[in-house]
Amino acid sequence: MIRFVICISWTVIFLILSIPAILVELIIWIFSPMARARSSQWIICNAFRILVFLAGTKVEVIGEENVLKDRPVLYVPNHRSIFDIILTYIRAPRQTAYIAKKETRRIPIFSIWMALMNCQFLNRDDLRDGLRVINKAADLIAGGSSVCIFPEGTRNKGTEPLQPFHDGSLKIAEKAKCPIIPVVINNSDDIFEAHLPKVKKTKVIIEYCKPIETEGMSHIEFKKISPEIQELMRNTYLKNAEHVNR
């Protein structure tokens, strides 16, 4: 419970103390939206790094050479913990916008930071809103930002490595013609969700798979990508599950 209290205390303290910084970021927004997104991400990533340290989380990264630094991409991680966002965000080499469920807007102050970082809030029950988010995400990629979407749609609380991908999760890449980088996260749920409300010292493995180029693909070719990525991520998850406790 001590780690939980420490992590919650840090989060509350940061959010309160960050209010003046939000006002500065809103001013920067007037002159340069991209500069605002980058500076906001820098602030949040540093707060996240402290939170990871306080949680006692050790991260082993595999395939970091697969993370493209000179081009915007679509990241597609599996999702078992709220820490998945934190752990992947701090490793993003360029401005990255996350696709979040609309309920995230209810989080005081932090939802403002998410908006400042170009995060998009999705109503999963509204097909029209899904199309809006796809178009907006493609525009962000065209403007130089990467995008991250959890294609399972929600946290996986079961025993299977992955849940089925939601239809349309990868359409951002088809529209933006950008590379897709599958991201496989092992053991992140053991930080918190596996033993609520404790925060436990944990080893997490994150593997970045090789980028999948989509430029020049036909629509028929693109439709084959989703099951191939799911199989790749499932096999990678099972492979790393054997090593996560070593």
Q: What is the CATH number of the domain that holds 85?
A: 3.40.1130
Tell me the C-alpha distance between 96 and 98, whole Å.
7
118: region left, alpha or beta (phi > 0 left; psi from -120 to 50 alpha): left
Rounded average pLDDT over 93-120: 92
Q: What is the mean pLDDT of residues 165-175?
A: 88
Domain annotation covers residue 142:
yes
Residue 226 pLDDT exceeds 80: yes
Instruction: Please say if the pLDDT value at position 246 is more than 70.
Output: no
For residue 35, the number of C-alpha atoms closer than 13 Å in the C-beta half-sphere is: 9
In a domain, 82, yes or no: yes
**Dist CA 145 CA 138 (whole Å):** 9
Provide the pLDDT confidence category of residue 245 given band limits of 50, 70 and 90.
low
Residue 181 lies in a domain: yes
Residue 89 inside a domain? The answer is: yes
Q: Per-residue pLDDT averaged across 151-158, rounded?
A: 89
- The domain tally of the chain equals 1
The average pLDDT across 177-183 equals: 96
Full residue range of the structural domain in which residue 230 is found: 2-241
Q: Does 201 map to a domain?
A: yes
Q: Give the pLDDT band (50/70/90) at residue 128.
A: confident
Residue 104 covered by a domain? yes
Residue 243 or residue 210, greater confidence: 210
pLDDT at 244 over 90: no
**Residue 246 within a domain:** no
